[in-house]
Amino acid sequence: HQLAIEAVKSVNSIDIKHDEVAFLALAERLGVPLLTYPADVLNAQTTPNPSEVVLSKLGVPSVGEAAAQVASGNGRLLLEKQKVTVASGKKHTLAVALDAAAERRGVVAIVGAGPGDASLISVKGKELLEAADLILYAGSLVPERLTHYAKPGAVVRNSASMTLEDQLHLMSAHYQRGHLTVRLHSGDPAIYGAIQEQMTAFDERGMDYFIVPGISAFQAAAASLNSEFTIPEVVQTIILTRGAGNTPLPPHEDLAEMARHRATMCIFLSATIAKRVQAQLEEHYPPDTPVAILYRVTWDDEEIYTGQLADLAALIREHKLTRTVLIVVGAAIGARKNRSQLYHPDWKHIFRTGKPAKVKKIKK
């Protein structure tokens, strides 16, 4: 079966076999422990080859397969139940499972690269890039500098020219080889990241995956504008949305209706329909509402333009902006007047009771 005898970690069976001479001798010969399990533990396993005969004699439908699964922590067997006859004529069954801790299984990490500045990726995201066997990145939106973290021998591919099917074919091939794949998306993958269709395909294929969040462009915008987007008594809500272009908005998410809230609105993917967006916003925001237009925020060629809502479309047209643009609208932009209650001297809570702090003296 092409399994190395030197790789055996333990011999395993049901507890009533704890003193079985053949099992003890085998464990001693291999230099591994003999581990046994009660019937209720074995019965909790789902095995491919249960036996009515074994159930009638031992109270469990499987010993070899179930014990291998329990000991390995792995439900998948390398070798299903085999019947063997030893020199004495006594018959035994055996099965083999791979220790889950030793198994290298494929996995896909969907990683947020951040808004553009390569140094804004998370520590976990960087570590995954350094360990990845395949890095598949959205080259038109993610800085190539991040791929320089790749280890020697890693495959690095730009997905800009690939269809979803092309990407899945490549990721599946690496997954089947037990590789770590990093699917590197701009910003935070959960915001306009087109990852839902990928996860659907992963689920259909039984592929393991997880998401590592990243800094979104709207968060980077607040930093670049030196602004807090939630100002006490002015605005406490942030709306992330887009205008209705080639991809229509759901009927209940009409931009003009959302403008009623006068929240801090961050509008993605809408530079080419700026005139329409401005008209919808002006239905409820005053014309002098502050606006900011951020092109490739945090990238080396970042451009930021500020003004009033009445000038939104003109600013975008004047600077010939068409893509990789975030529009921010709201009174929070550049606001400096209001104070929160969080650090007000009259505001008491469990960490700040208003009582003099006790100083603990350290004995010398």
Q: What is the pLDDT of residue 350?
A: 66
User: For residue 342, is it within any domain?
Assistant: no
What span, in angstroms and rounded, lies between the C-alpha atoms of 76 and 248?
Answer: 45
User: For residue 49, is it within any domain?
Assistant: yes
Q: What is the pLDDT of residue 140?
A: 84
Query: Do both 23 and 120 map to the same domain?
Result: no
User: For residue 321, is it within any domain?
Assistant: yes
Total of domains in the chain? 3
329 beta partners: 265, 291
Residue 81: CATH number of its domain: 3.30.420.180
Query: Do both 180 and 268 map to the same domain?
Result: no
**Residue 364 clears pLDDT 80, i.e. is over it:** no
| Mean pLDDT, residues 116-124 | 96
Residue 133: CATH number of its domain: 3.40.1010.10
| Contact predicate 227/304, CB 8 Å | no
User: For residue 351, is it within any domain?
Assistant: no
User: For residue 179, is it within any domain?
Assistant: yes
**Residue 279 clears pLDDT 80, i.e. is over it:** yes
Q: What is the pTM of this model?
A: 0.73
Among the candidates 97, 115, 142, a domain finishes at 97
Among the candidates 47, 77, 97, a domain finishes at 97
Q: What is the pLDDT of residue 168?
A: 97
The DSSP result for 8-58, as a single string, is ---EEEEGGGTT-HHHHHHHHHHT--EEEE-HHHHHTS--SS--HHHHHHH
Give kind and range of the element (H or E) at residue 183. strand 180-185
User: For residue 242, is it within any domain?
Assistant: yes
Query: Do both 83 and 157 map to the same domain?
Result: no
Query: Do both 293 and 273 map to the same domain?
Result: yes
Among the candidates 181, 198, 215, a domain finishes at 215
Q: What is the pLDDT of residue 355?
A: 73
Query: Do both 57 and 112 map to the same domain?
Result: no
**Residue 21 clears pLDDT 70, i.e. is over it:** yes
Query: Do both 236 and 306 map to the same domain?
Result: yes
Query: Do both 116 and 167 map to the same domain?
Result: yes
Query: Do both 294 and 225 map to the same domain?
Result: yes
User: For residue 102, is it within any domain?
Assistant: no
User: For residue 335, is it within any domain?
Assistant: no
Residue 262: CATH number of its domain: 3.30.950.10
Q: What is the pLDDT of residue 155?
A: 97
List CB contacts of 72: < 8 A, sequence separation 6 or more.
Answer: 97, 98, 99, 100
Query: Do both 112 and 93 map to the same domain?
Result: no
Query: Do both 204 and 231 map to the same domain?
Result: no
Domain residues for the domain of 275 are 218-329
| Contact predicate 118/191, CB 8 Å | no
pLDDT tens digits for 162-202? 999 999 999 999 999 999 999 999 999 999 999 999 999 99
pLDDT tens digits for 32-42? 999 999 999 99
Query: Do both 228 and 165 map to the same domain?
Result: no
Query: Do both 160 and 209 map to the same domain?
Result: yes
